[in-house]
Chain A
């Protein structure tokens, strides 16, 4: 009798376990098939890997400090509306090609698509141009990538031909307006010696608990230069971003991610350096307030010799917020004469704030220069006093100090106007 009982309860348990994932996946049953065979095949593969994956718990090393349970147990709306009043949203309005995606869907009438480069949806793209899709986004290992791959309704290809230098930045504004699971998918392909600047702004409008689950794959051909600036300020939303970048020789990739006024963010940036003399700069700045949780995971794999990578993440954490930084640099046996630097600095402003920092080096080549550093501390009272002694109000003194602290994380942004925008419109209001 007791044996039977045990069996029953065991069955119940497994049933419950399944239901979390199954229930969550119910959100996507309506996903329409694409008219592109390649995309359909990829989606099929992702569905079958999803069957083997499960949501991570804090026992998974990769998710040690970030819980997803409270997200996946939410009820989401299946067909989010896509109306939005753009003028009511704060966004970077200087000269740029504006592309508006509402709940993951392109709003052509509100957008000004760039000329000179390709910005098209997958369904309007030929197979040959999509051959790279899904090639580095590992849907067999990362469940959120798998969900995106299996169920995105349409994605967008940004393609820059060889030797093209775009005149102004492309500003992609992602708006979430409803409690829905949004699955934006981007494929960025930069041709040889091309130059492109992309701004990605993530904002939310009148929502609570939307889940933005983004996957971006980026390919840099020889000598390509790509600058990406991400501004994440989705209030009351969950944001999971999986970025995959593969670079060939002599390419430059500058990535700056600014997270402020956001509720819950998890960024996974994965960089694979497949050519020599490449240069990768990863900059991050996160400001946590109230109960926000901001988690930045980075992976840089040096697979070829003579490349440089530079990583600098800085955080200011106030109230009950928590910050996580996990940076991993892997130098392959082949990657001799690699220079890799990694730094994470945090300031805790309140007694309840916490930070977890895990900079990792994994090195298999000897002729390298690699270092990392991590610090956590508080405002320098003496410096604040120095400023106050010179007639600066305490509040302004602290602000000034904090601005100085984060300034170098914006150093890779070439566009001064954009830098000013971030400083004045994103940082200024969120610092106090």
Chain B
């Protein structure tokens, strides 16, 4: 896993390296959105009636809603009729082994650096790959099922574990939650489902890789992770997309449920195509992520590294309902060129003795705008709630913006809530110090940035941490001086 100077030099020269398009035949439905399209998606997926009804209900609610405009982002109005809501790699039959996966697809994943073969053999990470919002292959399923762990695509879960899905789907992010969550609920095509039974510590990291391949498509996947009593799971998520001139929409929903004494660790490295330096193209990433600590002593920890997307609108949140539950949020958000990010978290303290920690590091370069927006809410009955928030922003260059919009609402006098934020640039003295020791300015900057983000990167699993570090360097390439 050593990362040498040569690698860095190579990476610095490279542009968005995941920008290839795979020639995988795919099955699409026509552009546009109406009730028939929702039914068609449901039909294509052979879904039971309750699922179709659920979608239709969500769609009708979506029609009544309006797009949110409060975020600190600007973009032309999205034409929701100009998007393809379903695109799947042409289905063959149910795949039994990895050998049956389309070789073209496998090549794609190799390019992505997540060769399934290799993953399977070497790293022992179970991967669920979602390609244009359809799950294509889940590895390590048998091994996991020995422990009673369910890790499969969402559509399979709907068919095989309807009771579990019915019980938890929409309980954390209801269909009416917000505009994009409602849209997702109506048209989601697939996603991952994970259930960890009582008392099981998941022995390996579970991982989902998302990729948008088809042009003009939106990706709407849905993830549901349930950790039953006394269980533990670490879940990873990665995203990439090809370079395209037009903007593509990604509106996902992630729901986490942690029961008594359970712990979920959810890590994301988001590297959607950010658009070129003039702001052309790129992914609109409008994602709703929320977890609920239902049980006592439960814990949900979010870690995210956001380097991609033209626009990021994302607030991984935790509802601390169980007594003594813990919520954590660690985030690095990098914006360069014309990127815009409005991201942060919500910590809702309901139970007694609940604790939350928020560490957010924003880096803006180029002409980008990077905002932290967060809510810490201590409800009346949340005795002895504790929150610590730190959000730092780093500005590189004179054309970017860094903003902080924290909301702190305290309704209980036994709560201790702290928030602090700083904004500054990289100190000239720091750069000078590095220069003196023979490091070029660019290298010095990358070193300082890495140090600045260390607190968050340390929370990532090993493989991700290395990748994230590389991503940071690539994202900030050329932003010095």
Q: Enumerate chain A interface residues (CB-CB to B < 8 A).
A: 61, 333, 336, 346, 348-351, 353-378
Instruction: Known contacts A358-B406, A363-B403; decide if A377 and B417 are in contact (CB<8 Å).
Output: yes
In the assembled complex, B414 has its CB within 8 A of some CB on chain A: yes
Hey, which chain A residues are within 8 Å of B417, CB to CB?
374-377
Q: Are B401 and A373 in contact (CB under 8 A)?
A: no
Choose from B401, B407, B410, B422 the contact partner of A364 (Cβ within 8 Å): B401
Q: Are B413 and A351 in contact (CB under 8 A)?
A: yes
User: Chain A nearest CB: distance from B161 CB in Å?
Assistant: 40
In the assembled complex, B17 has its CB within 8 A of some CB on chain A: no
Q: Are B399 and A374 in contact (CB under 8 A)?
A: no
Chain B binding surface SS class: strand
Nearest-neighbor residue (CB-CB) of B378 within chain A: A376
User: Chain B nearest CB: distance from A299 CB in Å?
Assistant: 14
Size bracket of the B interface:
20 to 34
Choose from B400, B410, B422 the contact partner of A366 (Cβ within 8 Å): B400
Cα distance A353–B409 in the bound complex, in angstroms? 11
Residues of B408-437 at the interface with A, using a CB-CB cut-off of 8 Å, are: 408-425
Cα distance A367–B396 in the bound complex, in angstroms? 9
Q: Are B413 and A373 in contact (CB under 8 A)?
A: no
Nearest-neighbor residue (CB-CB) of A364 within chain B: B401
In the assembled complex, B185 has its CB within 8 A of some CB on chain A: no
Q: Are B421 and A361 in contact (CB under 8 A)?
A: yes
| Extra A-B contacts (10), CB below 8 Å, given A358-B408, A366-B425 | A333-B398, A361-B404, A363-B401, A363-B402, A365-B395, A365-B398, A366-B396, A368-B424, A373-B421, A376-B417
In the assembled complex, B397 has its CB within 8 A of some CB on chain A: yes
Q: Are A375 and B419 in contact (CB under 8 A)?
A: yes
Cα distance A349–B425 in the bound complex, in angstroms? 39
Nearest-neighbor residue (CB-CB) of A362 within chain B: B403
Q: Are B419 and A374 in contact (CB under 8 A)?
A: yes
User: Chain B nearest CB: distance from A256 CB in Å?
Assistant: 23
Hey, which chain A residues are within 8 Å of B414, CB to CB?
378
Nearest-neighbor residue (CB-CB) of B422 within chain A: A371
Hey, which chain A residues are within 8 Å of B410, CB to CB?
346, 348, 354-357, 376
Hey, which chain B residues are within 8 Å of A372, CB to CB?
404, 419-421
In the assembled complex, B75 has its CB within 8 A of some CB on chain A: no
Q: Are B409 and A377 in contact (CB under 8 A)?
A: no
Q: Enumerate chain B interface residues (CB-CB to A < 8 A).
A: 70, 380, 393, 395-425
Hey, which chain A residues are within 8 Å of B395, CB to CB?
363, 365-366, 368
Cα distance A348–B414 in the bound complex, in angstroms? 8
User: Chain B nearest CB: distance from A290 CB in Å?
Assistant: 16
Q: Are A359 and B406 in contact (CB under 8 A)?
A: yes
Cα distance A359–B421 in the bound complex, in angstroms? 9
User: Chain B nearest CB: distance from A308 CB in Å?
Assistant: 15
Cα distance A362–B423 in the bound complex, in angstroms? 10
Q: Are B402 and A353 in contact (CB under 8 A)?
A: no
Nearest-neighbor residue (CB-CB) of A357 within chain B: B408
Q: Are A351 and B423 in contact (CB under 8 A)?
A: no
User: Chain B nearest CB: distance from A77 CB in Å?
Assistant: 37
User: Chain B nearest CB: distance from A64 CB in Å?
Assistant: 9
User: Chain A nearest CB: distance from B70 CB in Å?
Assistant: 7
Please list 19 pairs of residues, one from A and one from B, whose beta carbons are closer than 8 Å in the complex, sorted by A's number: A333-B398, A356-B409, A357-B410, A358-B405, A359-B404, A359-B406, A359-B419, A359-B421, A361-B421, A363-B402, A366-B396, A367-B425, A368-B425, A373-B419, A373-B421, A374-B417, A374-B419, A375-B416, A376-B417
Cα distance A85–B419 in the bound complex, in angstroms? 47
Nearest-neighbor residue (CB-CB) of A356 within chain B: B409
Q: Are A362 and B401 in contact (CB under 8 A)?
A: yes
Instruction: Known contacts A351-B412, A378-B414; decide if A356 and B421 are in contact (CB<8 Å).
Output: no
Hey, which chain B residues are within 8 Å of A355, CB to CB?
408-410
Q: Are B421 and A371 in contact (CB under 8 A)?
A: yes
Hey, which chain B residues are within 8 Å of A365, CB to CB?
395, 398
Hey, which chain A residues are within 8 Å of B420, CB to CB?
371-374
Hey, which chain B residues are within 8 Å of A353, CB to CB?
413
Q: Are B419 and A363 in contact (CB under 8 A)?
A: no
User: Chain A nearest CB: distance from B395 CB in Å?
Assistant: 4
Residue in A351, A360, A366 with the greatest tally of chain B CB atoms within 10 Å: A366
Choose from A356, A357, A358, A368 the contact partner of B423 (Cβ within 8 Å): A368
User: Chain B nearest CB: distance from A215 CB in Å?
Assistant: 27
Instruction: Known contacts A356-B409, A369-B424; decide if A375 and B418 are in contact (CB<8 Å).
Output: yes
Nearest-neighbor residue (CB-CB) of B371 within chain A: A362
Cα distance A364–B406 in the bound complex, in angstroms? 18
User: Chain B nearest CB: distance from A331 CB in Å?
Assistant: 8
User: Chain B nearest CB: distance from A199 CB in Å?
Assistant: 32
User: Chain B nearest CB: distance from A409 CB in Å?
Assistant: 19
Hey, which chain B residues are within 8 Å of A367, CB to CB?
398, 425
Cα distance A356–B375 in the bound complex, in angstroms? 10
Residue in B407, B411, B413 with the greatest tally of chain A CB atoms within 10 Å: B413
Cα distance A373–B391 in the bound complex, in angstroms? 10
Cα distance A348–B422 in the bound complex, in angstroms? 26
Cα distance A357–B380 in the bound complex, in angstroms? 16
Cα distance A364–B412 in the bound complex, in angstroms? 36
Choose from A61, A351, A354, A363 the contact partner of B409 (Cβ within 8 Å): A354
Q: Are B421 and A349 in contact (CB under 8 A)?
A: no
Choose from B402, B408, B423 the contact partner of A376 (Cβ within 8 Å): B408
